[in-house]
A and B are shown apart, each in its own frame.
Chain A
Amino acid sequence: MSEPIIKVERLAYSYPRKELVLYDINFEVNKGEVLGIIGPNGAGKSTLCKALNGLVPHFYGGKYGGRVVVAGMEVLEHTVAELSTKVGIVFQDPEEQMSGLALTVWEEVAFGLMMLGFPKEEIVRRVDEAIKQVGLEGFEKRSPFELSGGQQQRLAIATVLAVKPDVLVLDEPTAQLDPIGKFEVFSVIKRLAAEGSTIVVVEHEIEELATFADNILLLDQGRVKAYGPARDVLTQVEKLKSLGVDPPSVTELTYLLNKELGANLEVPITLDEAIKIYAEALGVS
């Protein structure tokens, strides 16, 4: 078994002069794995994301306990700038992630590499590659502020990909997007996941998350309520509902059919699985 690229041990944290927002968090992420983090608002999901690249505690301060190790670097012992080559983080609001120094999409993607002092030739190569990865070819000379929400979020992902971090952290990347924007961003995430990127993603769109997450971590009020393979967590329908998290519709439907009508169906977590299971149950091909 490969060495975990992210190791979180007994992590506890509180913002300055506030109550604890994370209690005794433990989990691991292996290389090439996708971890989905779910939970109601205020569960501590975003704080946990910020703990992975050192913004917690270096930027915010506060009380910190336990250990977070990413790509062999203990977060507490390295600056956010040092960790930025290991962990790339994408936030909710795409517009707020723009550097403010770049006039074009191309320059925006180059910004992080320039800040990190990469050689010019390497910057050119990596920027072109990252723009291609998120499907923004042809937009290189456009202003970042002229793009749609989905395009801006893909640009934000490209800015991170250009640095080639070991881990990509996406904190509700589709929260502020319209359906088309969500579709565009999920397409990129799924492609990156299929290509073997290590991704930690906070997402409320559980139906989508179920299609590409290997493991799921369920947070509530700063505590881990469930953690394990996506199927094991997402099929805990009662638990998810009690915490205000909607499981995938097909999962809930099948769970209720089993419970209320005594059906004995395997519980799916994606639409594709559901079609297969129901087709078999109904005897149609």
Chain B
Amino acid sequence: MSAGISLLKRTAVEANTIFQRLDGRVKFLYFIWATVLVYIFYDPYLTLAFLIVTLAMAAYAKVFKPIAMTLLIIIVPWIILGVLILALPFGFPWNKTVIGYINVLGYRLPVYLEGLGWGITWPLRISVAISSALFFYLTTNQAKLVATLFKMKVPFKAIYMIIATFQFIPLLFDEANTIIQAQISRGLKTDVGVLQRIKNYLAVVIPLTISALNKVQTRAITLESRGFSAPVKKTFLYEARLTAADWAFLGIMAAVTVFLAWVYVTIGYSPVAHLQWIWA
């Protein structure tokens, strides 16, 4: 099972650190706040600092492993590919400052600062967004998550769609595996060329779609039978409300925002690496 799927299979047993106890809205705000800030600045060091802080909080909250696995799978290849494409002389107009040379297959190629900076900063920004979003998702108990989203005025049907999707994706993968095995047992060949392989997907996708639609209908029937559409005020077992820890966390975020606003005004958008905007 891939990390992405195992990530979705959250277990009910969760750690109980200060980060799990923080209100879901505060953690959601952190995700938005960190993402916006790393996009405002263009500095790999500053972005890395945000990533380290987020991962440190994740480690303390005992959810480091799934986040790190996701970053390894998504971001590391992205950085390697991004740096190779952007920093080498492929004719990008922003590449002006040569910082060294590398030998590739006997060719001496220049490495450009602008491309290198962009190739690292861009995936790192995504890392901050992914890790802070996962930090919010993985440290917020599902009942609290539902209550949080409801308090944020998200319609209950939309909340259901968001939360249930996460739970049903692993089930859909199990179903796809069963269908693949069934089709292979009936003679579906897997050691074939790309075109035939694409055709083979139809043999899996069509039954999977039909099965998924049937499941959705059964689920809808079940939910309906259990009062999902009852025109009453739903009861939530958890009340979303801010505590002293939440206010302290918000206070730290506000202080950092003020500090970074001062940095932006006085030093600029790349305070540590002093990079130039690549399209400038």
Interface residues of A (CB under 8 A from B): 50, 53, 55, 59, 79-82, 84-85, 88-89, 91, 93, 95-104, 107, 110-120, 123, 141-143, 145, 159-160, 163
How far apart sit A159 and B227, CA to CA, in the bound complex (Å)?
A: 11
Contacts of B228 in A (CB 8 A): 81, 115
How far apart sit A53 and B226, CA to CA, in the bound complex (Å)?
A: 10
Contacts of A142 in B (CB 8 A): 12
A100 touches B160 (CB 8 A): yes
Per-residue contact bits, chain B 215-239, to A (CB 8 Å; 1 contact, 0 not): 1001111111111111111111100
A79 touches B218 (CB 8 A): no
Across chains A and B, which 4 residue pairs bring their CB atoms closest together, nearest first?
A: A100-B164, A117-B232, A81-B230, A112-B226
Extra pairs beyond A53-B225, A84-B230, A163-B227 (14, CB < 8 Å): A55-B224, A59-B221, A80-B225, A81-B224, A81-B228, A81-B231, A89-B225, A117-B230, A117-B232, A117-B234, A117-B235, A120-B237, A123-B235, A141-B12
Q: Least Cβ distance of B31 to chain A in Å?
A: 21
Contacts of A84 in B (CB 8 A): 224-227, 230
Contacts of A141 in B (CB 8 A): 12-13
Of B164, B227, B230, B231, which contacts A101 at CB under 8 A? B164
Q: Least Cβ distance of A138 to chain B in Å?
A: 14
Contacts of A82 in B (CB 8 A): 230
Q: Is B142 in contact with chain A by the CB < 8 A criterion? A: yes
- Closest B residue by C-beta to A122: B235
**Among A99, A123, A163, which residue has the most Cβ atoms of chain B within 10 A?**
A99
Q: Least Cβ distance of A279 to chain B in Å?
A: 46
Q: Is B11 in contact with chain A by the CB < 8 A criterion? A: yes
Contacts of A143 in B (CB 8 A): 11-12
Q: Least Cβ distance of A224 to chain B in Å?
A: 24
Contacts of B233 in A (CB 8 A): 117
Contacts of A89 in B (CB 8 A): 225
Question: By the criterion of a CB under 8 Å from any partner CB, how many residues of chain B are at the interface?
Answer: 36
Contacts of B182 in A (CB 8 A): none
Q: Is B15 in contact with chain A by the CB < 8 A criterion? A: no
Contacts of A104 in B (CB 8 A): 12
Q: Least Cβ distance of B99 to chain A in Å?
A: 50
Q: Is B197 in contact with chain A by the CB < 8 A criterion? A: no
How far apart sit A119 and B223, CA to CA, in the bound complex (Å)?
A: 20
- Contact A116:B168 (CB < 8 A) given known A80-B224, A81-B224, A93-B218: no
Q: Is B180 in contact with chain A by the CB < 8 A criterion? A: no
Q: Is B167 in contact with chain A by the CB < 8 A criterion? A: yes
Q: Is B143 in contact with chain A by the CB < 8 A criterion? A: yes
Of A55, A85, A118, which contacts B235 at CB under 8 A? A118
- Contact A80:B142 (CB < 8 A) given known A59-B224, A114-B236: no
Q: Least Cβ distance of B179 to chain A in Å?
A: 16
B219 touches A100 (CB 8 A): yes
How far apart sit A123 and B234, CA to CA, in the bound complex (Å)?
A: 12
Of A80, A85, A123, which contacts B237 at CB under 8 A? A123
Contacts of A59 in B (CB 8 A): 220-221, 224
Q: Least Cβ distance of A56 to chain B in Å?
A: 10
Q: Is B171 in contact with chain A by the CB < 8 A criterion? A: yes
A96 touches B215 (CB 8 A): yes
B234 touches A114 (CB 8 A): yes
Contacts of B230 in A (CB 8 A): 81-82, 84, 115-117
Q: Least Cβ distance of B221 to chain A in Å?
A: 6
How far apart sit A99 and B235, CA to CA, in the bound complex (Å)?
A: 15
B235 touches A113 (CB 8 A): yes
Contacts of A163 in B (CB 8 A): 226-227
Of A100, A107, A117, which contacts B143 at CB under 8 A? A107
**Among B11, B228, B233, which residue has the most Cβ atoms of chain A within 10 A?**
B228
How far apart sit A82 and B237, CA to CA, in the bound complex (Å)?
A: 22
Q: Which of B153-206 contact A (CB under 8 A)?
A: 160, 163-164, 167-168, 170-171
Q: Is B146 in contact with chain A by the CB < 8 A criterion? A: yes
Q: Least Cβ distance of A100 to chain B in Å?
A: 3
Listed by A's residue number, 15 A-B pairs whose Cβ atoms lie within 8 Å are A80-B225, A81-B227, A81-B228, A95-B171, A96-B215, A100-B167, A100-B219, A101-B163, A103-B141, A103-B143, A115-B226, A116-B227, A120-B235, A123-B237, A160-B226
